[in-house]
């Protein structure tokens, strides 16, 4: 089968929302998120994200099967957990785009799909008039008991794309880790670049 990566039209997002939710749950179970996901929550999250003006949802396909996805939308469309710390750090909210998840099934990694995700999200942000892109990644200690041997950071990839850590800019999100009975707080570090 041939691999394709393209931005979905709003109607396509709704048609494939169950597939997209399953994909997020599958990939976010992995290190470093260790997220014990819920299909109902994921479907609602994706529908809300996609409904934002200028939102971008990019999907990678193997034939008709969705094997990866990435999202982006204006910072102004984000909830308080993301919006407030970024705004408080001095970012211009109307011209900043927030890149949500970028998830890809393991067997498809290392083939340039991650770059295609960033290319299409950055292009969508520029079309919407954004001058800055930002995203955040979960902070886990090196000695975390569930850290797999050989786990590596994506920092080199992000740096090669022109992104830099924003010193002191973190947010807190809540989710249930695998094996936990309830949600717990997790700190995430922001990265950013000019578009």
pLDDT in tens, the chain (195 residues): 589 999 998 889 889 999 999 999 999 999 888 988 888 889 998 988 888 999 999 999 999 999 999 999 999 999 999 999 999 999 999 999 999 999 999 999 999 999 999 999 999 999 999 999 999 999 998 888 888 888 888 999 999 999 999 999 999 999 988 888 889 999 999 999 999
Q: What is the pLDDT of residue 124?
A: 97
Q: How many CB atoms lie within 10 A of CB 193?
A: 16
Q: What is the pLDDT of residue 148?
A: 86
Q: What is the pLDDT of residue 1?
A: 53
Record the pTM: 0.93
Judge contact between 27 and 105, C-beta under 8 A.
Answer: yes
Token pair 């408080």 is at which residue?
88
Q: What is the pLDDT of residue 150?
A: 83
Strand partners, 68: 60, 104
Q: How many CB atoms lie within 10 A of CB 42?
A: 20
Q: What is the pLDDT of residue 62?
A: 95
* 132/91 Cα distance (integer angstroms): 8
Q: What is the pLDDT of residue 179?
A: 86
């Amino acid at each position: 089968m041939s691999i394709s990566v393209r931005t979905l039209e709003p109607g396509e997002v709704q048609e494939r929302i169950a597939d997209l939710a399953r994909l997020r749950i599958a990939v976010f179970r992995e290190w470093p998120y260790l997220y014990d996901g819920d299909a109902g929550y994921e479907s609602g999250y994706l529908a809300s994200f996609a409904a934002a003006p200028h939102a971008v949802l990019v999907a990678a396909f193997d034939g008709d099967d969705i094997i990866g996805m990435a999202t982006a939308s204006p910072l102004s469309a984000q909830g308080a957990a993301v919006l407030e710390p970024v705004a408080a750090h001095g970012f211009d909210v109307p011209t900043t785009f927030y890149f949500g998840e970028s998830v890809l099934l393991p067997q498809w990694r290392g083939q340039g799909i991650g770059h295609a995700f960033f290319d299409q999200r950055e292009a969508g942000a520029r079309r919407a008039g954004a001058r800055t892109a930002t995203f955040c990644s979960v902070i886990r200690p090196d000695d975390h008991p569930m850290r797999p041997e050989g786990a590596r950071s994506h920092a080199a990839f992000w740096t090669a794309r022109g992104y830099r850590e924003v010193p002191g800019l973190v947010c807190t999100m809540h989710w249930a880790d695998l094996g936990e009975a309830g949600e717990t707080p997790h700190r995430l570090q922001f990265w950013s670049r000019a578009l």
